[in-house]
Every structure is written in C-alpha cells, then in structure tokens.
Amino acid sequence: MEILRAKLQQHNATAAVIGLGYVGLPLALEIASAGFKVVGIDLDQNKINNLKEGKSYVGDVSDQTMAGAIRTGRFTPTSDFSALRDVDTVSICVPTPLSKSRDPDISFILTATEKIRKYLHAGQLIVLESTTYPGTTDELILPELESSGLRVGADFFLAFSPERIDPGNTAFNTHNTPKIVGGITETCTEVARIFYSQFIERVIAVSSTKCAEMVKLLENTFRSVNIGMVNELALMCDVLGVDVYEVIDAAATKPFGFIPFYPGPGLGGHCIPIDPHYLAWKLKALNFQARFIGLAAEINGMMPSVVTTLVSEGLNRFSKSIRGSRVLILGVAYKKNVSDCRESPALDVMRMLIEKGAILSYNDPFVTTLRMNGNTLKSIELTPANIESQDCIIILTDHSNYDFRRIVTASKLVVDTRNATKDLQQFKDKIIKLGAGNNVASASNHEDEQESPAANLRTH
C-alpha cells in the first residue's frame, strides 16, 4: 500500500479508465489534468479514432480539451486491454443497462473484470464506478480477481465509487462533485480515498462497497419517486382545475422541509429510469417488494400516454383526430441542452403518435438525426412556414435556445409538457399545458380514443 500511496500522492501513478462514455471520458481527462498519465480503453474503435484525432463525442468535453490531453501525452486512448499490465489504478465505467425483461445486465462489468484479472498485479487499485445492485463488487468482482491468487487488501485493492455525472450541468462537474468511496477492506477504502483526493475536491469514505452501491441507488430512487409523485400531482391538478406549477412554486417558498420537483412527459437518461430497477431486482431476490419503486415506475411510465391524450384533446378542439394530423415534436433528448436520447420519453410519445397515424416530424438542435423503427429521421428547421404548417406542436424538451414566444405565436396548437410557455398567458387559448388545470375535459369522453390514463388513476 505504501508504494502505491506514494505514487498516487506524487502523481507518478498511471491510471486506466475502461469505458469512455459520458462517465469515463470526463473522469479520464480529470485524472490527466491532475498530472497523471491515463490510458483510456474502449472497444468502440470509432471512439478511439476520434479521440486520437482530438475530437470529442461527449457534450461536456470540448474538442479543445480533448486535443490538449492528446497533445500533452497524458491521455492515451486504445482498444487494447494489455495496457492494463502497466497501470496502477483501473476505473470501470462501462454501461449497465436493463435487459428486455427489466433485469440488470452486468455483462459489461463481467467482461471488464475478466480482462482486468488477466493483467492484475500486486499494488493495483481497482474501482467500479458503473451503477449496479448492492453486492456486485464483493459478490462478483472480488471472487474473479482473487482467483488470480492475489489477496484483496494486501496484494491489490478493490472499491466501489458511484459516478455522479449530470450531463449538461455547468455548475457541477467531475472535479467539484463530492465523491463517495467504499472498499472491500479499510485499506482498500483508504487507497481509493487517496486516489480520488488527488483530482476531486471532496471525497467521502463509507464503510463498505455495498453501502457505496446503495448510495447511488438511493440518489436516483429518490428522484424517481419524487418525480412520480409530482407527475401524479399534475394529473390531480388537471382534474381539480389547479395549476400544478403555481402550487409547486408556492410550496417552494417554504425555507425548510420541501424540495421542488416538476412534472414532465416521463423519465429519461441512463440513470433515473433504470437504477431503481436494480434495487428492486435485488430486493425481489430477497423476498422483499419495493413498492414505492414500483408505483413510481408505473406513474412515470404512463406519462407518454398522458401526453398523447393531451394531444388528442387539443386536436379535438379543432374537430381533428391524431390520424392524419401534422405533429411537430420539439426536443427528443431526455433533458434540456444535451444530445442524449437514451430512455427519452420523447421516443415513446413519438411511437404512440405514429401508431395512431400522426404525420410526425421533430426538431432538436442537439440531435440532428434519430433512428426510430428502423428509419432515420432528420431534425427539421424551425422556419415560420414549418411551424405554421403543423396542426400541433409538442414541447417535450425545453432546450434553452428555443424561442418559445416565436414558436407559440406561429402555432395553431401547443401541448406544453415542461411549463416552457409559463410567460405566454396571452396565448393560453392555443396552449394545453400538462398539469395546468386547463385539461379537465378528459379525452376519455371521445369515442375514437382509449380511456385517459388520468381517468385510470382515478378509478383504481
């Protein structure tokens, strides 16, 4: 440990990061910026080629930053795992998606662990950052690494440190976001703490890997449950004729005991829609039902259908049905000012509208092309003519560079799922806003549509 401690504190160690996505690439560059030599490993050769040319594919990493790291020689991208033979630390930042049956898919973690075991040597620190269920590090990674004959806490060190990346967040980044670390042994925790302390402002040690794994799941389950609650509140407010945004903003004036969450068309991104399922899956195996997680998932999962119902209600005001109507989607990324479409609720809304016969198009300044149902869609320009030609415009992602006043002025009908039109009350007759209390007339009254999801909640 003392040899590795000295190398870390003197910044003479060489670090490896496996998985160069939106988590791994910023981490690798942050380590390199502290003076360490870093090897970035990814099996996607296109990514490696772009990085070698100084080109970034991650929104939070500029080409200038990428080119500078390559030019200094501190960052070396490769697809060759044999580079692990000469590194002192390894950070695993691979994807952890859900399978089609909504079970955790940890195959990327297992593959990375097998590669690490092949080149594992004494004095190495291994840290898993990929989100997973509690117990993964000590139940799956530890046995594989110890099968090499090396002992954890003595010959090598193993820890879990959950990633806390928030794409598009300009206030918090890898460097200034507090880092949680939990090791298999106290020595493992201390080595991991020393490592991260060299390039992250604040590092918090917890008692175990399982605790650190649970921290990440709590963070995202907290958000999932609260978003589910406020989405249900939005449906309540529609029934009651109350503006949910006015309610939330008023409640947020309380200086204690309240954190504002806002409704929307559903959950998106790699974390919040997925991570709670990891916890629920683990608990199900222990004969424990995670009821809050299940209920939040049910409510959040129905929001795209709620949006489709609002579109139907709006078009019916003009004696139109969804079938044959021209509908423009504003924003397909899962959150504002990013290009990430993973698990985006916009995709579900679009599929539902297509199934109902809408003539669909989209605009997203961050997503120029989109693959759907085997077809490639292209973002159309927001020209006055394109806006005026639409029967309905749906605001699904409220990117900062949208001029909503101009858009609403030229539109016939706007369905707003993000409260983006809050300052445009003079156009309220052409705006239907999720949770704004102006949607009391449920689409369940129309024979050509299915019963409103909000009505389903009222009757169960």
* 240 lies in some domain: no
* 159 lies in some domain: yes
Q: How many Cβ atoms sit within 10 Å of the Cβ of residue 227? A: 22
Sign (positive/negative) of CA torsion 178, 182, 186, 188? negative
State the pLDDT at residue 441.
41
Query: 149 and 23, same structural domain?
Result: yes
* 215 lies in some domain: no
* 334 lies in some domain: yes
State the pLDDT at residue 276.
82
pLDDT band at 246 (very low <50, low <70, confident <90, very high): very high
pLDDT band at 93 (very low <50, low <70, confident <90, very high): very high
Query: 164 and 298, same structural domain?
Result: no
Query: 194 and 297, same structural domain?
Result: no
State the pLDDT at residue 424.
94
Is 459 a residue whose pLDDT tops 50? no
* 342 lies in some domain: yes
pLDDT (tens digit per residue) in 288-320: 988 898 899 899 999 999 999 999 999 999 999
Which residue is associated with the tokens 């609002």?
310
Is 368 a residue whose pLDDT tops 50? yes
102-110: average pLDDT: 88
Query: 305 and 404, same structural domain?
Result: yes
Indicate the average pLDDT of the chain: 91
* 249 lies in some domain: no
Query: 435 and 299, same structural domain?
Result: yes
Q: Which residues are catalytically annotated?
A: 271
Query: 423 and 312, same structural domain?
Result: yes
* 255 lies in some domain: no
Query: 182 and 44, same structural domain?
Result: yes
Residue 344 sits in a domain of what CATH number?
A: 3.40.50.720
Is 452 a residue whose pLDDT tops 80? no
pLDDT (tens digit per residue) in 135-183: 999 999 999 999 999 999 999 999 999 999 888 888 999 999 999 999 9
Of 165, 190, 208, which closes a domain? 208
Of 208, 226, 256, which closes a domain? 208
Query: 183 and 36, same structural domain?
Result: yes
Contact 79, 110 (CB under 8 A): no
pLDDT band at 82 (very low <50, low <70, confident <90, very high): very high
Quote the domain boundaries for residue 319: 293-459
Query: 134 and 37, same structural domain?
Result: yes
In Å, how far are 77, 363, 410 from 404, measured between CA atoms?
A: 42, 13, 10
Query: 309 and 197, same structural domain?
Result: no
* 217 lies in some domain: no
Of 162, 192, 208, which closes a domain? 208
The number of domains in the chain is 2
